[in-house]
Structure 1
Amino acid sequence: MFSSPKYTPLEKPWPENIDVSKQGIEVPGTRRPGQTGAWGLSTVADQPHVRVLPDIFELGLKLSTNERYLGHRPIVSKNPLKFADHYVWETYNQVDQRRRNVGSALHRYFTDGVLGGGEMPTVGIWSQNRPEWQIIDLALHAYAKVGVSLYDTLGKDSVEYIINHAHLTVIFATVQHIPNLLALKSRVPMLRMVVSIDDLSEETKQVLTSWGALQDIQVKELRDLEEYGKANRIEPLPATPEQIATLCYTSRANVLNVTALGGATGFYTGDPLRLLEDMSILKPNFFPSVPRVLNRIYQIAMQAAELPGLKGFLFRSAVEAKLKKLRETGDNTHVFWDRLVFRKIQAVLGGNIKLLISGSAPISIDVMDFLRIAFACEVVEGYGMTENCAVITRTWPGDPSCSGTVGAPQPCTEIKLVDVTAMGYTSEDKPSPRGEICVRGGQCFKGYYKDEKNTRETLDDEGWVHTGDIGEIDSFGRLRIIDRLKNIMKLSQGEYVALERIENAYDLSPLIAQIYVHGDSLRDHLVGIVVPDPIQLAPLVSKLYGKPIAPEDSTILADAIRDTRVVQAILDEMNEEAKNAGLKGFETVKKIHVTLEPFTVDNNMLTPTFKLRRRDVVAKYKDVLEQLYSEPDLAPIADLKQEISKL
């Protein structure tokens, strides 16, 4: 999803000539043994507009009543699949009517006992991001229902668990998911209604309705609920800050930020291969993204630096000049170079970007600085978790040295660092205090539903959320993520290693699409399972084999990854990345198994939010990992040869 060119500035803009050296302060009197004091913004202003979620839409509706709000590219042909070359929009007023209709219908069903019966009036949504998803969610906010998001790529086991855990009696779903829900009925007896977000053909509707009747599940269409709600309309119900709004098995937040500003959101087609096409049509000014996408933009753009002749010279000169200006002044614009060189890169994302955000995983300093100079806009790195509404900190505009940090605390947030002595991190470390990042504020969650054990481990009695991340706070009051407490283990020689942090370091390599790093407490080194990016693997193999090989030559690449020369070349690239990331010797992966089979939700290697299911990866590759550990370690011999060559 992306925001449209309509751009509403914040009511209170960033002050001019802001002092970026004072981004946070430690509150006097809050320091305790083994931890820092509570850190927050040096100045905090109250925000009068939003107390509860329905206020967000009401604010956007007031700002942009008849302006466009939610957009999509309609399908013009199913065979072959083709989308329109434009976006179709619904206004805030139109969405307001639809959310009232959907919410009124749901409230009537729950009040009459057609739905419900659990601890809370929960409603599931199983769909990709699209306008209808947002309309349904807004209806839940307005009519005191508890939303439960089912990620679009969830497998049947995860869906079954969530339905039972959240006691879902109704689920809004796209048409491809409805047969799966009907087939699950014997294992999810509470499910009574499935609402198709898509319009159904008469034949499809008859089949699904008949099948649903056999399973004692009503199958309806979204437009059916809207008509029923329109005939039984009631006003939205008052909300209080204490009400539970969602049982969040996945996270989504950026569309609400756009809504609060009265902005418009255009949803992409759902096909990553059409992403740039969607961007060129929508021409957004706000693009929230993740490092994997931004790294690819960086890698493609930097290929221009290798061009021979005048083109390569101009590109290198432009990058050098703008980086110098950025790091000296914080200004990422340049009248000449932006027009001559970077205009073409900006066109990749539609040419109208004013705000670009990176989150969810680490991103390198080089990439962040390049994005700032290439797009000549505000480029923000943020840090957060689902448990605190996705935002803890963010970088400040005009800060020339913020790359490599995740910025200062948000106005609603307090941060403190707690000693992790086993890893050597303490609040007394110099020059900067270090420790586990703990967060407190009104945006933090109340706990894990029906999971007291994990709630007690994560949320302490004073309301601090223990993130499991290790950070340091620099002299400017900015937070830097430096390690990971979870998935920490001790190698046989006594060294502690944080496996996720090591994976994140290797993941910055263009060659590595995915990686699982494995340690054994009876061993003194790490091994890994590596999924290379075919686009980057093909030129590496071509160079080794002395002939051109395309990324599409999957059979050749599948054979190549069994070649010890190719495996060693991949490991050499990884060693360079480890050196760049400053990994210690015992933190580097010594042996790898290479596979072209990606980790996915479908093969149970990833969670719905695309995090590794470590136990499932270990189970699948158990024999491979044992084989890697049984092979002789040639690294010491190679190191010895290198040392001898220096004599």
Structure 2
Amino acid sequence: MADVLNNVVFGVLKALSVVYNVITIIPYYVMCQPGERLRRSNRIKARSVDGNPASPFRAVDSPQQLSTTPFPECKTLDELFQRAVSVYGDKNCLGTRELLREEDEMQQNGRVFKKVVMGEYNWQSFEGVFTRLTNLGSGLLAVGQKPRRNILIFAETRAEWMIAAQACFKYNFPVVTLYSTLGEDAIIHGVNESEVSHVITSAELLTKFKGILSKMPRVTHLIVMCDQQPITSLKKEFPDTVTILTFNELEIIGADPDNIRTPVTKPSRGDIAVIMYTSGSTGVPKGVIITHGNLMSGMSGQCQRISGLGPQDTYIAYLPLAHVLELSAETASLSHGVAIGYSSPLTLTDQSSKVKKGSQGDISVLKPTLMAAVPVIMDRLYKGVWDKVKSGSPFSRALFQFAYDYKRNSLEKGYDTPLFNKILFSKIQLLLGGRLRMMLSGGAPLSEKTQRFMNICFCCPVLQGYGLTETCGAGTVTDVDDMSTGRVGPPLTCCEIRLRDWEEGNYLTCDHPFPRGEVLVGGGNVVQGYYKNPEQTKADFTVIDGLQYFCTGDIGQFEQDGSLRVIDRKKDLVKLQHGEYISLSRVETALKMSPLVDQICVHANPTQSSCIALVVPNVKNITELAAKLGLKDVPFEELCSNDKVEAAVLKELASLGQKSKLEKFEIPAKLKLCTEIWMPDTGLVTDAYKLKRKVIEEKYRPSLERMYSFA
């Protein structure tokens, strides 16, 4: 009976949609010009400079010379922020949410989690931030920090991080960055290699230095982002040879009339702004040397692609500032007067793990208009919404699917669906505050399914970008008008991209219908190389026709409109026993869309004829699957080692693989369900949630060997 009723209702809905289309098509066509939207989406966006596919590609809207600065009058990062202060002086600059209280919450398994209840955002103006960073820079000079001498910022993303960075840019102190989740060995390596004497850190991370200071003999000062009270007792646990000051104490020192001073050595474009240590996905972190000119060039291209950037915007900051994507996004935002509100992955949404049930996450309070995200965040949003839809009634599920398909078809024809946006999708928009007008995805490939879902359900374009630390995060960004998915867009105006033949993988610039090859990025945004590592610098960088290029190791193809699609990665490509090549990341991108999968690492051995997989399952969905298999109320850890559950998940992934058009040898023959979530602090993924393959493979080596012995 229910099915009959649903069919009747949807028959009525379809009939109403036809009537609605007939009534509105003419006024909508006149006002919205869908033909013009399709033309903008399909326009030529980049082309080879001389028509040869082996030559570099540039954006068609590039100036004759590659762009090098967001504003002609600004040559360095300190000049960029000073301009922002002069233009936007009393407007909101950096915002931090007030912590009202912390509460311990007992979980069903007996563990206690700390939950927070937060208030409103408190804001500092551009002028106020400039005063603080001037005091901080003067204070650093007063306690022995020298121009052009490296200084480390080792802290979570927060307003003080950006204030410290801007102080260092102004006073020409090269900033060394390390991810806050790195282990002791990586911290010691970065500190000693960069020879820092002054470290800026947070109260939460100060304890990391207690047991390792003896292995970092050059460190003389620890500056802590907190009030005096939390670290008074901790000071006694550190040697007398190290001076510990709070952020506020250093600002007071710098504000003293005897200490306040202008920069001793004003930075130039060629001066080092940042030595950014990579997340170490393939070994010991490498320090990437980034000059003021490199970052200015990169931001000039990024800002050009973000239309309408200005003081009416609000950006939510929660990704690691030690990652070039976040650092350049925030710096570019500030240069255009955008207010930045700080958050963290643990407090971002109402459902985030540290937010007390019934209270609001940061994004609900801030209501940002701009947001950057890595694919793992978007994949979680995608799965979260679909899980909620599937848990509803058959009628609500069918209604959502009808609206989703209707809007998808409309968008492909250049139309939008204002009625469905208002009635249905506006509720989903509220998950991200309700005001979001643009999202930027970077750091890893974003699946086409997730990108399309975000475009439809959150009613804002998701711009996919491509860049690396070695290119200041700049390379390509999709056009805001581009309605396609799965591509990373044309080159930015600051750089050019050329493809280089990779014969071993059979990727050639003469391939048809599109030229293919290794992606090389050239321009002023390409960095100087690796710190104290000339061998790796020589291997990864090259100069062609007088321009510095970075050899990315990624395989791309330029499509008809000049947009780049990343199709493979040399290091992810494994040749199987019978000669077939398998792209591990391509398989992972397809299979992680399963609702049963939270994280996945595909492993392939050249001596074998198939691949295998390590899967971190979704607890809720794997429990529901187990109940259908007659395993209700079985503990999660036992489910992960149950043969029936493993077989059911393997079957689900095989089905998804076939739908995603994976070859038979690309679909895992065996899998292991892992109970441990792969978080940055476990060392199994980077702060951008990229897999550390070697670390994962080493940890699970016995399981991998066992799977292959039975494959």
Do they fold alike, i.e. is TM over 0.5? yes
2:696 to 612, 617, 633: 617
Q: Does 1:378 align with 2:405?
A: no
Matches within 5 A, 1:36-435: 36-45=54-63, 47-49=70-72, 50-80=74-104, 82-109=116-143, 114-115=144-145, 120-201=148-229, 204-214=230-240, 216-231=241-256, 232-236=259-263, 237-249=265-277, 250-251=322-323, 252=326, 253-269=328-344, 271-272=346-347, 273=352, 277-303=361-387, 306=390, 307-308=392-393, 310-329=395-414, 331=415, 333-400=416-483, 402-435=484-517
Match of 1:502 in 2: 587
Q: What is the 5 A alignment of 1:496-645?
A: 496-545=581-630, 547=632, 556-631=635-710, 633=711
Q: 8 Å contact 2:99–2:119 — kept in the other structure? A: no
What SS class does the counterpart of residue 396 from structure 2 fall into? helix
Question: Does the 8 Å CA contact 1:304/1:315 hold for their aligned counterparts?
Answer: no
Q: Deviations over 1:434-455 (max 9, x none)?
A: 1111100111111011112221
Partners of 1:19 and 1:367 in 2: CA distance: 19
Residues 515, 557 of structure 2: 8 Å contact kept = yes
CA distance in 2, matches of 1:335, 1:598: 40
Equivalent pair of 2:447/2:590 in contact (CA under 8 Å):
no
Matches within 5 A, 1:483-498: 483-498=568-583
1:473 to 539, 555, 558: 558
Residue 161 of structure 1 and its aligned partner are, at CA, apart by 1.2
The count of corresponding residues between Structure 1 and Structure 2 is 596
Structure 1: stretches of 5+ with no match in the other structure: 1-14, 550-554, 634-647
Deviation at 1:293, TM superposition (A): 2.0
Cα distance in structure 1, aligned partners of 2:540 and 2:220: 34
Determine helix, strand or coil for the equivalent of 2:606. Answer: coil
Of residues 156-165 and 516-525 in structure 1, the stretch that sits farther from structure 2 once superposed is 516-525
Question: Is 2:478 the partner of 1:455?
Answer: no
Of residues 84-93 and 372-381 in structure 1, the stretch that sits farther from structure 2 once superposed is 372-381
Identity %: 28
How much does 1:608 deviate?
4.4
8 A Cα contact 1:405 1:479, kept in partner: yes
Deviations 1:469-491 (A, max 9, x none): 11111001001111111143322
Indicate how the Cα distance of structure 1 residues 100 and 580 shifts in structure 2: closer, same or farther if over 3 A, else same.
farther
The Cα of 1:575 is off from its aligned counterpart by: 1.6
- CA–CA distance in structure 2, aligned partners of residues 529 and 287 of structure 1: 31
CA contact (8 A) 1:115 1:192 kept: no
Return the alpha-carbon distance in structure 2 between the equivalents of residues 145 and 515 of structure 1: 41
Alignment partner of 1:443 out of 518, 525, 531:
525
Q: Which moved more, 1:240-249 or 1:307-316?
A: 307-316
Shift in CA distance, 320/492, structure 1 to aligned 2, threshold 3 Å: closer
In 2, distance between residues paired with 1:619 and 1:423? Answer: 27
Q: Report Cα offsets for 1:523-581 as digits up to 9, x if no partner.
A: 2222222211213322221222264x5xxxxx612111211111011112222332243
Distance 1:530 1:303 in 2: 19
SS in 2 for 1:74: strand
Task: Answer whether contact 2:100 2:119 (CA < 8 A) is retained.
Answer: no
CA distance in 1, matches of 2:676, 2:478: 36
Select which of 21, 29, 40 maps to 2:43: 21
Residue 212 of structure 1: how far off its partner (Å) = 3.1
Q: Contact 1:21–1:477 (CA<8 Å) still a contact in 2? A: no
- CA 1:383–1:60: 2 relative to 1, 3 Å: same
**Could you say what secondary structure the match of 2:595 adopts?**
coil
Q: 1:124 offset after TM fit, Å?
A: 1.1
Give the CA deviation at 1:208: 3.2
Secondary structure, aligned partner of 1:486? helix
Is the CA contact (8 Å cut-off) linking 1:72 and 1:269 kept in structure 2? no
Structure 1 residues 79 and 312, CA gap change in structure 2 (3 angstroms): closer
In structure 2, give the amino acid aligned to 1:219: I
The AA in structure 1 aligned to 2:383 is Q
Cα shift at 1:20: 3.5
Asked whether the equivalents of residues 484 and 501 of structure 1 are also in contact (C-alpha less than 8 Å), the reply is no
Looking at structure 1, the residues matched to 396 and 693 of structure 2 have their Cα atoms a distance apart, in angstroms, of 46
Quick one: distance in 2 between partners of 1:19 and 1:570?
Answer: 39
> Aligned equivalents of 1:270 and 1:303: distance in 2?
20
Q: Match of 2:529, as an amino acid?
A: G
What do you get for the CA RMSD once the two structures are aligned?
2.3
- Residues 116 and 169 of structure 1 are in contact (CA less than 8 Å); yes or no, is this contact kept in structure 2? no
Give me the whole-angstrom Cα distance separating, in 2, the residues matched to 1:452 and 1:233. 39
For the 8 Å contact 1:605–1:616, the answer to whether it is kept is yes
Distance across 2 between alignment mates of 1:518 and 1:377: 36
Following the alignment from structure 1 to structure 2, what is the Cα–Cα distance between the partners of residues 626 and 309? 44
Distance 2:701 2:398 in 1: 50
Cα deviations by residue, 1:188-209 (Å, 9 ceiling, x for unpaired): 10111001101131xx544333
Residues 577 and 313 of structure 1, relative CA distance in 2, 3 Å threshold: closer
Q: CA deviation at 1:315?
A: 2.2
The answer to whether the Cα contact below 8 Å between 2:182 and 2:683 also exists between their aligned partners in 1 is no
Q: Give the C-alpha shift of residue 104 in structure 1.
A: 1.5
Q: Contact conserved, 2:365 with 2:433, CA < 8 A, in 1?
A: yes
Judged with a 3 Å threshold, the aligned counterparts in structure 2 of structure 1 residues 490 and 312 are, in CA distance, closer, same or farther, namely closer
Question: 2:303 is matched with which residue?
Answer: none
SS at match of 2:542: coil
User: What amino acid does structure 2 have at the position aligned with 1:283?
Assistant: K
Deviation at 1:466, TM superposition (A): 0.9
| Bigger shift: residues 599-608 or 565-574 | 599-608
Residue 560 and residue 284 in structure 1: after superposition, are their counterparts in 2 closer, same or farther (change >3 A)? same
User: Do 2:198 and 2:221's aligned partners in 1 also have CA atoms closer than 8 Å?
Assistant: yes
1:217-251 Cα distance to aligned partner (Å, 9 max, x none): 00111111101111211224532111111110141
Deviation at 1:513, TM superposition (A): 2.0
Asked if the contact 1:395/1:407 (under 8 Å) is kept, the reply is: yes
